[in-house]
Amino acid sequence: MSAELIFIYDSHCPWSYASTELVSAVEKELPNITIQLMHCGYFDGDNKVDKKSIDAVKELSNVTFSDNYLSLLADTKDSTIAANIMAWAQNKSSDSAFKLLKALQQAHFIDGNPLESAQDLEPIIAKLKLSPPAKCLKSENFSKDAEHSIHDVYELQDIIGTSAIPAFLLINNDDLILLNHSVYLENPAMFVEAINNELASTS
């Protein structure tokens, strides 16, 4: 059985945005590892991102935030529709799921797109030539696929004893390992090395 890396994230979370660089490194350097993306649906329209968090992410990672995004910090964030389409992509079009996540983050954190409606997602869907069902493009409620994914996230969070996001879980054989990804945000190559070390110790 091949090893699996689970990435628990929210598309509207700045720390998840920074951590996606680590997923990119794993995808490139460790192609035999299966990557599973699990959107946790944290941003529900009642919460915001503050400037302090943005400053911390910028200090500890390599990502940037555009003025367009920063101008919207006072607005509440709602990632429901992004959770819906990501759950669909992970289940039905897994080859395009990570490309979709990166496109969503580019749209949100660079272009300043709130990603809260079907209209917000239309350019991304067209560019990636995706054909999600209409149920994925509703922002009022989570789709069944998204609900199942979020339920699985809750179960994993109970196992690892934390609901902090983002989170990286490495599964190798019968071992489930919570990776301390935060120390590698500025150096994805070291994250890959850390995974290789874990794989060697649990094989």
Domains of the chain: 4-201 (3.40.30.10)
- What band does 12 get if pLDDT is binned at 50, 70 and 90? very high
C-alpha 9/C-alpha 11 separation (Å) is 7
C-alpha 156/C-alpha 149 separation (Å) is 11
- What band does 135 get if pLDDT is binned at 50, 70 and 90? confident
What pLDDT does 203 receive? 74
Average per-residue pLDDT for the chain? 95
Q: Which two tokens stand for residue 172?
A: 């190798």
Q: Nearest 5°: CA angle at 100, between 183 and 140? A: 100
Q: Is the pLDDT of residue 138 over 90?
A: no
- What band does 139 get if pLDDT is binned at 50, 70 and 90? confident
More confident call, 78 vs 173? 78
Average pLDDT over residues 100-113: 98
Q: Which two tokens stand for residue 8?
A: 């628990």
CA 19 to each of CA 40, 127, 169: distance values in angstroms, whole numbers, following the listed order: 15, 24, 13
Average pLDDT over residues 173-189: 95
What pLDDT does 95 receive? 83
% of the chain at pLDDT higher than 90: 91
